[in-house]
Amino acid sequence: MVAAEALAGLAGVALFAVPGAGLAEILPAVRALRPGRHLAYAWLLGVAWTAGMLYALSHLLAVPLRPPAILAVAGAPVAAGVVSWLRRRHLRSLAAPVHALRLWEWAVVAVCAVISLAVLCEALTQPVLDWDGWMTWAAQARYVRHEGTVDASVLTRKGWYITHPWYPLLLPVAQVAVLETTRADWDDPAFRPLYAAFFPVWLLVVYGGARELAGRAAAGWTTLAAALLPCPAFELSGGAISAYSDLPLACFYGGGLALLLAPRLRPSAGLAAGILLAAAALAKAEGAALAPAAFVFAGLYSFSRWRRCRRHWRPLALAALPLVLALVLLFSWRAGIPERFESYEKIVSWSLLWPGLLTRAPRIAARAGVEMKSFTEWGIFWWTVPLVLAAGWRGLRRRATLPLLLAAAAPLGIAWISYTISLTPEFIIRTSWNRFLVQASVPLLLLLSLALASLLRGAAGLSPARARLARSRLRGRSTPA
């Protein structure tokens, strides 16, 4: 990219960051988060709100996806945030206290910043090189931008050769918003920094969730391990340098779940989580299953507290509202898209589902294991994770463990089913297994942080009684989220 194109790409990032800051301002639970986590959730809320509202307005009200509508949708939360800030500027801030970072924490921040900067530089200097990013997501964005609607004729009329016409359009709509507001050419990759921004956001979501559950030390080391993984950052098929939707889905899915697992769940946190889960449902085909699953897992986590406090149903009700609306939008949009001669029916067979779920499992596991052993994509991560989880098993005796385990298993369960019914499972595993792991990464890393916290307490020589006291103090210091 030349300098002007690079500036256009950075302006595209600001297009979502600014309305996200407004939303974070008017949601007290998000506003009270620590700075890093606050920035991450503000960004995610900005993407979810701007692209999600444009998606709905285009399909339901035929609003053209042009700069006036885009700027109006992005400007609404900005105005609301400014009003909220002006109203409380003389009041005592409710933000969480900022603690000074230790030397090793500064080292973790430096590593994460350098890798995030490398991802951003790749996005600013290279065109789209990945297959799905160019042939699916960017192609859909071109169709939508050309006609100014998510109901583009190439999607809603028979006779056009379209791969995956039912894929949801949240990220293509976000691309259109960037390209339209910056007046970029149809083949301009100015939207690439949008995808690159999800990498530091992913790290901050992991760190924030791990700190709530496991403390500062475990959160820091878990985030460092995540930052050093080659696949989420630099894998061309699903990493942050690509235009795939897997890392954004991981952020929406894991971020929404992490908010719902907060020790003190507030209504505004429930609403923010619902917005993120709604974005997950609209980000990728798997999201329509993963987002409701995350809501159910969080509901199981909260069930034991309902008897002590009946107000716990309110945050979950607020979380359910945007999620249900997003699913209604998705199914309504898909209803207008006809069958195509290019479909999954040519490469899958549901007759293989049973007993294939059992008989094909060893074959699937063996091939998936080969992918996980790739040093260039995962390093030694999958060799060490089982050891850490086994050694730190005491840290997994927490109420949050079950929903996190279920949330980590959900994307892998979808993968297992899709591989079972596939006519070419080896090819599909080779091209998609790492992406399913990325989708499951946030709950997986939070489980890792729980086990790591137990190991760190043991290394520090804490007795069981002192460890329980430390956990109770940690929960007592947890800020409302």
The answer to whether residue 474 scores a pLDDT higher than 70 is no
**What is the residue whose two structure tokens read 């979502």?**
16
pLDDT score recorded for residue 225: 95
* d(C-alpha 123, C-alpha 191), whole Å: 9
- Mean per-residue pLDDT over the chain, rounded: 87
pLDDT grade for 477, boundaries at 50, 70 and 90: very low
What is the number of alpha carbons within 13 Å of residue 257 lying toward its C-beta?
A: 39
308 versus 300: the higher-pLDDT residue is: 300
* Number of neighbouring beta carbons within 10 Å of residue 304: 10
* d(C-alpha 481, C-alpha 473), whole Å: 17
The answer to whether residue 53 scores a pLDDT higher than 80 is yes
- Average pLDDT on 78-92 reads 82
- Average pLDDT on 160-188 reads 90
Specify whether the CB–CB gap between 278 and 48 falls below 8 A.
yes
Query: What end-to-end distance do the CA atoms of the chain give, in Å?
Result: 40
Nearest to 150 by CA among 69, 76, 73, 63: 63
The answer to whether residue 449 scores a pLDDT higher than 70 is yes
Nearest to 250 by CA among 242, 239, 241, 261: 239
* d(C-alpha 200, C-alpha 318), whole Å: 28
The answer to whether residue 481 scores a pLDDT higher than 50 is no
| Chain length of the chain | 481
The whole-model pTM stands at 0.91
